[in-house]
Structure 1
Amino acid sequence: MNAIQETNFQFPGQTGFYRGKVRDVYAFPDKLVMIASDRISAFDVVLPRPIPFKGQVLNQTAAYFLEATVDIVPNWLLEVPDPNVSIGLKCEPYAVEMVVRGYLAGHAWRQYRDGHRTLCGVALPDGLRENDRLPTPIITPSTKAHEGHDEDISRAEILERGIVQESGYVQLERYALALFERGTAMAAEQGLILVDTKYEFGNLNGKVYLIDEVHTPDSSRYFYADTYAENQQAGRTQKQLSKEFVREWLIENGFQGKSGQTIPVMSDEWVKQITTRYIELFETVTGQRFQANDATDPLSRIETNILRAIRE
């Protein structure tokens, strides 16, 4: 299988290029072309081996949820000309990610376990266990880093530093919670629990747009609803669909993205397992069958489809 590690195209009319942790972004005067590569990141570090079909899963999952939430907030997406490609409006991103949490899991749990009872300025009650449902969904923003680690930040700090003006931030909060409510309802229809997720927003001509990916395995965490209560009562690990299993594997092998740590070797079998888990998430969360595009030369396919789209 030909995994996509990176792209290096030069398109007519292209005005810029940016390589993120996962996506390669080609800028045009009024549009962005985002190519979802098969790179995988954890702890804000890109791991050395790409995961076949991961980019297709992310791109198609994001497109599915962008279409399903456009009645809540307008989004950047215009078309999906290729399984790995999305083309959309060129917005000015807000420099924060809106992380919404309905359960105490992942990073939030690790902070809580270590004794913290305030996360991003939000107070958490005592007596919670890992994966417990929170009394109400909370927003725990983070700064959006171009390089290195995103950092937790509170609402008060965002406003004090002028990262987002208060009126704009109130709107982002409202959109984030409404999107989380919709995502929760859609997950429930598929027998899942939306545990936490992140949203990114941009501004174009004074209007807020939802940008980037939505409710994908890279940006979200899901539990299986049918076993949640039983596992929680018994103190067992929750069966989940997310990228958390990759983070857990890294932690078990001595890596958390800290200075001096070495990324463990990813075997062929482990890479194959990650691919299987990503496809499982797509099919489970969308209710659709995954159609793997196993072209022998995916880069040529991607370039051809983008050229056709930008010339139309």
Structure 2
Amino acid sequence: MSKGIISTDFQFKGQTGKYTGKVREVYEFGDKLAMVATDRISAFDVVLPKPIPYKGQVLNQLAAKFLEATKNIVPNWVESTPHPNVTFGKRCEPFKVEMVIRGYLTGHAWREYRDGKRILCGVAMPDGMRENERFPQPIITPTTKADQGHDEDISREEILKQGIVTEEDYLQLEEYTRKLFARGTEIATAQGLILVDTKYEFGKFNGEIYLIDEVHTPDSSRYFYSDPYDALLNANQPQKQLSKEFVRQWLISEGFQGKEGQQIPEMPEERLEMISNRYIELYENISGEKFVKDEYSDKLAHIKEAITQIVE
């Protein structure tokens, strides 16, 4: 099996900095940046040791597609995608919150609900709901954006009280979040999918709010298949879904949830290949397009050359 990209270590003329995130490596050039989507995978805010081949290409190309499809709702940071793993654009000053929006009771929200909680990030959840059931209206459950470690749930009230975001900007972020979720829902419906929940990140450039990072990818979003949804819900069966949740569930089955003292389980090669294939399946189902693999021969050199042509 092809080896995935675990990291990059480039130096470019005019480079002013480099930031390494959980999955992406960001090269800064003054008020511009080049973002490289590696094949690293994270779960429970922990980066797993082995890469997933083609995952970075899947994320980068899906993000480019959906950023293009939503730019009439909110401007975004992208200026070009010079390589299947690279996006180039504006270096915005990010807000220190992630805007999570949930249309259905699943994942983290379900785990909190199952444990008896009925308030999530200051938002009330109705009694008597079942796992994977649709909320009467989508709920916004923001998190803090941690540079390292775990993001933490936070309420709108606490965000404003702490001055993390001004009230004017936060209300705009909420409006953008709801409109983006509605657009993502429309696109998913056309593909026979349900956009279950997702997160958006925003920043400012020259005083204007921009959508940054990625949007509606399987790393930031969860999808169910529409067709079996009602039957599975009524039978109390797990939903057939397109998301990274299958990685989290495997880790949970191996006794790992990112908690202190827990050992990251060793992921066998067949599991890595299965996850790679699932990401490609995600791409094709979400985009409605055939995935064309960018093979790994000299891939790092091609990535470096693509960035060089833009910045030098």
Q: Is the 8 A contact 2:14 2:311 kept in 1?
A: no
Provide the rounded CA distance (Å) in 1 between the counterparts of 2:12 and 2:158.
Answer: 40
Alignment of 1:151-300 (within 5 A): 151-300=152-301
User: Secondary structure of the residue that 2:13 maps to in structure 1?
Assistant: coil
Q: Structure 1 stretch 270-279 or stretch 297-306: which is displaced more? A: 297-306
Measured after TM superposition, the shift of residue 15 of structure 1 is 0.4
Give the unaligned 5+ runs of structure 2: none
What RMSD over aligned residues (CA atoms) do the two structures have, in Å? Answer: 0.5
Partner of 2:98: 97
Provide the rounded CA distance (Å) in 1 between the counterparts of 2:49 and 2:206.
Answer: 39
1:198-224, Cα deviation, whole Å (9 max, x unpaired): 000000111000000000000000000
Measured after TM superposition, the shift of residue 186 of structure 1 is 0.3
Q: Which amino acid in the other structure matches residue 199 of structure 1? A: Y
Q: Is the 8 A contact 1:34 1:87 kept in 2?
A: yes
Q: Structure 1 stretch 302-311 or stretch 229-238: which is displaced more? A: 302-311
Q: Which amino acid in the other structure matches residue 69 of structure 1? A: T
Provide the rounded CA distance (Å) in 2 between the counterparts of 1:23 and 1:36.
Answer: 5
Provide the rounded CA distance (Å) in 1 between the counterparts of 2:31 and 2:199.
Answer: 25
Normalising by structure 2, what TM-score? 0.99
Measured after TM superposition, the shift of residue 83 of structure 1 is 0.5
Measured after TM superposition, the shift of residue 195 of structure 1 is 0.2
Provide the rounded CA distance (Å) in 1 between the counterparts of 2:305 and 2:89.
Answer: 18
User: Secondary structure of the residue that 1:278 maps to in structure 2?
Assistant: helix
1:275-294, Cα deviation, whole Å (9 max, x unpaired): 01100011100111100001
Provide the rounded CA distance (Å) in 1 between the counterparts of 2:35 and 2:206.
Answer: 21
Provide the rounded CA distance (Å) in 1 between the counterparts of 2:192 and 2:294.
Answer: 27
Q: Which amino acid in the other structure matches residue 39 of structure 2? A: D
Alignment of 1:50-65 (within 5 A): 50-65=51-66
Give the unaligned 5+ runs of structure 1: none
Measured after TM superposition, the shift of residue 235 of structure 1 is 0.7
Provide the rounded CA distance (Å) in 1 between the counterparts of 2:3 and 2:44.
Answer: 25
Measured after TM superposition, the shift of residue 295 of structure 1 is 3.0
Q: Which amino acid in the other structure matches residue 196 of structure 1? A: D
Pairs aligned (count): 311
Provide the rounded CA distance (Å) in 2 between the counterparts of 1:61 and 1:202.
Answer: 20
Normalising by structure 1, what TM-score? 0.99
Provide the rounded CA distance (Å) in 1 between the counterparts of 2:3 and 2:251.
Answer: 24
Q: Is the 8 A contact 1:2 1:294 kept in 2?
A: no
Q: Structure 1 stretch 301-310 or stretch 71-80: which is displaced more? A: 301-310
1:30-58, Cα deviation, whole Å (9 max, x unpaired): 20100000000000000010000000000
Q: Is the 8 A contact 1:2 1:297 kept in 2?
A: no
Q: After the TM superposition, which parts of structure 1 deviate over 4 Å for at least 4 consecutive aligned residues?
A: none
Q: Is the 8 A contact 1:23 1:35 kept in 2?
A: yes
User: Secondary structure of the residue that 2:6 maps to in structure 1?
Assistant: coil
Does 2:86 match 1:85?
A: yes
